[in-house]
């Protein structure tokens, strides 16, 4: 394990770690670089970064104009804008996506927000909360199903948002 400014890194591999990445207020900030993988506990902020492999974070992921070629697994929160995920996304916590494209997503949270974004199938894992909500804003397109395992889900969608698959275990609220 490597330590970088108090963060414990299991693996953060780039051709030159200093090029484009630095420690900022206890978090890792990377801009305009390419990384092989990210395995980290803490805060990660990416701006115009390409991640070739998997991303595993216990904490918060903030990504702007970034591309993830592998799977993303986050226990914490994801805030994504103008980004693309080619692998699957697994999130235990808040998900806020704007102007981004994702493949299949598995969420364990009370709610998730998609704004002007695209995603494949969205599976919402059961939580202790009564009602789980997926917010689809603007021209968001979900090309697959939205599945609420609890059977008590709501999809709050704008008139422009579309779900091409079925809503299973929930219903639409406008």
What are the tens digits of pLDDT across the range 22-40?
Answer: 887 878 899 999 999 999 9
**How do the domains of the chain map onto residue ranges?**
1-92, 104-174
Long-range contacts of 147-151 (CB under 8 A, 24+ apart): 147/121, 147/122, 147/123, 148/124, 149/123, 149/124, 149/125, 150/124, 150/126
Residue 166 pLDDT exceeds 50: yes
Q: What is the mean pLDDT of residues 130-152?
A: 96
pLDDT at 15: 35
pLDDT at 112: 98
Per-residue pLDDT band at 20 (split at 50, 70, 90): confident
What are the tens digits of pLDDT across the range 34-70?
Answer: 999 999 999 999 999 999 999 999 999 999 999 999 9
Q: Which residue is it, tokens 């994504």? A: 80
Residue 13 pLDDT exceeds 80: no
pLDDT at 140: 98
Residues whose CB is less than 8 angstroms from the CB of residue 119 and which lie 6 or more positions away in sequence, other chains included: 97, 101, 102, 103, 104, 105, 140, 141, 142, 143, 144
Single pTM value for the model: 0.88
Which carries the bigger pLDDT value, residue 129 or residue 77? 77
Residue 105: C-alpha distances to residues 39, 146, 155 (Å): 19, 10, 15
Query: 48: exposed, middle or buried (C-beta count within 10 Å: 0-12, 13-18, 19+)?
Result: middle
pLDDT at 113: 98
Residue 169 pLDDT exceeds 90: yes
Mean pLDDT of the chain: 90
d(CA 43, CA 49): 15
Residue 159 pLDDT exceeds 90: yes
Which carries the bigger pLDDT value, residue 16 or residue 129? 129
Share of the chain above pLDDT 90, in %: 81
């Amino acid at each position: 394990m490597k330590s970088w400014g108090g963060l414990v890194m299991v693996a953060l591999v780039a051709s030159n770690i200093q090029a484009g990445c630095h420690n900022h207020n206890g978090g890792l900030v990377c801009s305009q670089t390419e990384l092989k993988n990210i395995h980290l506990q803490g805060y990660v902020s990416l701006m115009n970064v390409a991640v070739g492999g998997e991303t595993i974070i216990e904490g918060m992921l903030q990504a702007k104009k970034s591309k993830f070629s592998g799977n993303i697994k986050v226990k914490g929160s994801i805030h994504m804008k103008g980004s693309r995920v080619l692998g699957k996304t697994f999130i235990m916590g808040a998900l806020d996506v704007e102007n981004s494209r994702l493949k299949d997503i598995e969420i364990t949270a009370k709610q998730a927000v998609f704004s002007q974004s695209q995603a494949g199938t969205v599976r919402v894992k059961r939580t202790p909360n009564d009602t789980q909500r997926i917010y689809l804003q603007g021209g968001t397109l979900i090309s697959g199903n939205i599945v609420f395992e609890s059977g008590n889900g709501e999809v709050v969608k704008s008139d422009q948002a579309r779900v091409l698959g079925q809503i299973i275990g929930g219903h639409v609220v406008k």
